[in-house]
């Protein structure tokens, strides 16, 4: 059976979507002991751990401690599901090709933080989320799948975030399943999805509400 480790920092709703979709998780690890998602994972019977970044002097020692905990589970795939720490080059290279992230924008637009506010400020008519493989450059790795949502005239940050999050909860489990089924192929930044005509399965554009 495939082994998946999920890293979280807070609410854990994307991790919960993976559990709800029946993705078997070997462990959920948080860099914050107070992360609400840890309790959700425990209630679902998933092993949880904390590697508190505040206890480490620098990024390198935190990354090394985190990698030790992850490697204990010998995962096929490590999923960053709302993990809000920047990971160093050594860490990223250690998990090259098996480290996946969900980001709340249509990359390469709006890397980093406050993506919904920035999409609104920029006057975007379309926004969304991206699942991608992690490379050392922040939020720039090969794109596995994207889901687009409309930006409506009366949207505020909260309403737009909620519309995107609903799509995140569909996109991430699908991407993880494709990965575990061996359906993804990577050619530089381009990711193909086997068995999907014209690779259309990895683009989601829901109806405008
Ligand atoms: C999600 O919107 C995820 O895309 C985002 O944090 C949120 C976590 O929510 N991730 C990032 O911004 C990473 N740069 P969750 O804890 O409920 O899954």
CATH number for the domain that contains residue 188: 3.40.50.170
Eight-state DSSP code of residue 184: E
Does ligand 1 lie within 6 Å of residue 103's CB atom? yes
Both 86 and 108 in one domain: the answer is: no
Does ligand 1 lie within 6 Å of residue 11's CB atom? yes
Both 193 and 109 in one domain: the answer is: yes
184: its two tokens:
């993804």
Both 66 and 121 in one domain: the answer is: no
**pLDDT-based confidence at 207, cuts 50/70/90?**
low
Does ligand 1 lie within 6 Å of residue 32's CB atom? no
**Active site positions, annotated:** 103
Q: Is residue 183 part of a domain?
A: yes
Q: Is residue 61 part of a domain?
A: yes
Residue 115 · residue 159 · CB < 8 Å = no
- Give the position of tokens 């480490």: 56
pLDDT at 202: 76
Find the mean pLDDT for residues 127-135.
98
The three-point CA angle 46-129-4 to 5° equals 25
Question: pLDDT, tens digit, for every residue of 64-115?
Answer: 999 999 999 999 999 999 999 999 999 999 999 999 999 999 999 999 999 9
On average, the pLDDT of the chain sits at 95
Q: How far is CA 115 from CA 157, 158, 161, in A?
A: 9, 12, 9
Query: Is residue 199 predicted with pLDDT exceeding 70?
Result: no
Both 205 and 157 in one domain: the answer is: yes
Find the mean pLDDT for residues 128-151.
96
Q: Is residue 189 part of a domain?
A: yes
Total structural domains in the chain? 2
Residue 208: which domain range?
A: 104-128+147-209
Both 60 and 124 in one domain: the answer is: no
Counting from 1 in the atom list of ligand 1, the atom nearest the Cα of 37 is 16
Q: How far is the CA of 110 from the centre of ligand 1 (A)?
A: 14
Q: What is the DSSP string of 150-169?
A: EPPTT--HHHHHHHHHHHHH
Counting from 1 in the atom list of ligand 1, the atom nearest the Cα of 104 is 4
Question: pLDDT, tens digit, for every residue of 11-30?
Answer: 999 999 999 999 999 999 99
Beta-bridge mates of residue 203? 146
Q: Is residue 140 part of a domain?
A: no
Q: Is residue 142 part of a domain?
A: no
């Amino acid at each position: 059976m495939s082994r998946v480790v999920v890293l979280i920092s807070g609410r854990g709703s994307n991790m919960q979507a993976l559990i709800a979709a029946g993705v078997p998780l070997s462990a959920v690890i948080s860099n914050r002991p107070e992360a609400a998602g840890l309790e959700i994972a425990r209630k679902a019977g998933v092993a949880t751990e904390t590697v508190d970044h505040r206890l480490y002097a620098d990024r390198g020692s935190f990354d090394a401690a985190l990698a030790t905990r992850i490697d204990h589970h010998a995962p096929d795939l490590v999923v960053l599901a709302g993990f809000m720490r920047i990971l160093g080059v050594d860490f990223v290279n250690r998990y090259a090709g098996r480290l996946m992230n969900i980001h709340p924008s249509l990359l390469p637009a709006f890397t980093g933080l406050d993506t919904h506010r920035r999409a609104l400020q920029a006057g975007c008519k379309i926004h969304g989320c991206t699942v991608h493989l992690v490379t050392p450059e922040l939020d720039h790795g090969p794109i596995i799948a994207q889901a687009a949502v409309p930006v409506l005239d009366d949207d505020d940050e909260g309403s737009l975030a909620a519309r995107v999050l609903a799509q995140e909860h569909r996109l991430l489990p699908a991407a993880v399943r494709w990965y575990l089924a061996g359906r993804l192929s990577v050619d530089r930044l381009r990711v193909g999805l086997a068995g999907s005509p014209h690779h259309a399965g990895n683009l989601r554009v829901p109806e405008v509400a």
